[in-house]
Structure 1
């Protein structure tokens, strides 16, 4: 299934999509591609906000973009790997029976599937700026991401039949 179809399907049933992704077997290259795709989309989503910030403050746009690129392409993946490991350890403490790969895939896929809302957040930040609209879209993203991650992690940590 194409990634865009899986993202759309995740909004209807995140556990079903995660079950299908896990059934494809543990392939770290796929998990890393999902993570890097999500980080790239988040970097692109930051561009309108950074452009607005550069215009309003007189800062150099290329410097802001370089910092965002460094953060999202090189640093964020490392932090997300650590967060996935921590979530797996916590799941183990409360009875989870999944794998390290399953926990990583659950987090990475949830992050990628929630990026359409992050793209909207970037547009609101760039064109409207700070305010209740931006906060509302940010809250919507947080709820969507949490829903996807919790549902995916529950699926990944279920005992194997």
Structure 2
């Protein structure tokens, strides 16, 4: 097994508390509103939304991935930190043992925020992570953050 790591930073116009609430705390409801072309549903399978809880995200037909399950590893509402591990889903088959995500929203000098993410892909023996797959994931994450930013701009009372 190998580990491929990438880091990402995305700036946003909204403060960390607002982005964290929308992107993390209200994700199950908002992802399908904000990204209806990609996310079909999000559901809590086990737990109380806290550490150890297991969630399933189902994607719309036609996406490369139909579903992913992840376990919440850490959630810090005061410091806007959310860590989770994707451990099951068709995207992982024959490629990855798991994918871990460490995310944090920090204040930016202009009153907005910066989304900081470190993602680690734990590859299965024999699978070489192509560079275009890393670029694809970075773009998907950036697009999601920017879509939430636009949604909150258009719906200021949403969170």
TM-score range, shorter chain: 0.3 to 0.5
Q: Which has the higher helix share?
A: 1
Q: Which has the higher strand share?
A: 2
Q: Which has the higher contact order (CA 8 A, sep 6+)?
A: 1
